[in-house]
Structure 1
Amino acid sequence: MREKLQEIEELVKKLQQNAPEETKNFFNFLKSVEKDGAVSAKNKELINIALAVAAQCEWCIAFHTKNALKLGANKEEIIEAAMQAVLMHGGPALMYMTPLFKAIEEFSNE
């Protein structure tokens, strides 16, 4: 999953070179919606994990799992959030629990 994070970094660098204004605007939006508000930043990351599993995005799973763990989420909370995606999205989301477990294992000790 660290490889996925590295791929995100490489993509962001390319986007900053090729679409700097759009990339800046996207990350400003990301920062504004992921901060604490009526819903805590931790809970927003748990929501993002569920959405990442449902969207079948391994890069998103790696990114948001690492962030959720940094914000104090534990393994049980992350899995429970991801299971909401399975409930709503079915078998394909269940299979994306595989990279989710990899991300939890890799980033839990940081």
Structure 2
Amino acid sequence: MTESPMRERLHEVESLLSTLGKSHPNEVQAFMNFMGKAEAGPALSGKQKELVNVALSVAAQCEWCIAFHVKQAAHAGAKRDELIEAGFLAVLMHGGPAMMCMTPLLKALDEFGLPAAVQV
């Protein structure tokens, strides 16, 4: 059975960090420390931080980041509509290329089991 594209991206992230962690441990550890410090502030909730990260991932056009942060946002309680809205904020600020990166965002939402909102 073939792995879904967004789950494959997550495994690629893990593999990259593992490979670089062996060959360049100081650099990887410095990055991980910086990430931990940057995400440690008390003003935003974990869910809010991940919504920001999803928007930035779409704006940066990074499928690996989208997969990682959609999964983290889902674990933090974010709903599909919140994540799509975050994606559209990236489109507002970054334009057409960010609109095209809504494709991997939707794939990640589907693959990680975030159901579509009920239409009223």
Change (3 A) 1:74 1:32: same
- Indicate whether 1:66 and 2:71 are aligned: yes
Larger radius of gyration: 2
Q: Aligned partners of 1:100 and 1:51: how far apart in 2?
A: 12
Q: For the Cα contact (< 8 Å) 1:35–1:41, is it kept in 2?
A: no
Change (3 A) 1:42 1:75: same
Q: Aligned partners of 2:93 and 2:74: how far apart in 1?
A: 24
Aligned match of 1:81:
86
Offset at residue 103 of structure 1 (A)? 0.5
Which amino acid letter does the alignment assign opposite residue 24 of structure 1? Q
Q: Aligned partners of 1:35 and 1:98: how far apart in 2?
A: 30
Between the two proteins, the alignment pairs up a number of residues equal to: 109
Q: TM-score when scaled to structure 1?
A: 0.94
The structure with the greater share of residues assigned to helix is 1
Which digits, 9 at most, give the CA deviation of each residue in 1:17-75, with x for residues without a partner?
A: 11101111111221222246101111111001111101100000000000000000000
User: Aligned-residue CA RMSD in angstroms?
Assistant: 1.2
Aligned match of 1:43:
48
Q: TM-score when scaled to structure 2?
A: 0.86
Unpaired runs of 5+ in structure 2? 1-5, 115-120
Report % sequence identity. 56
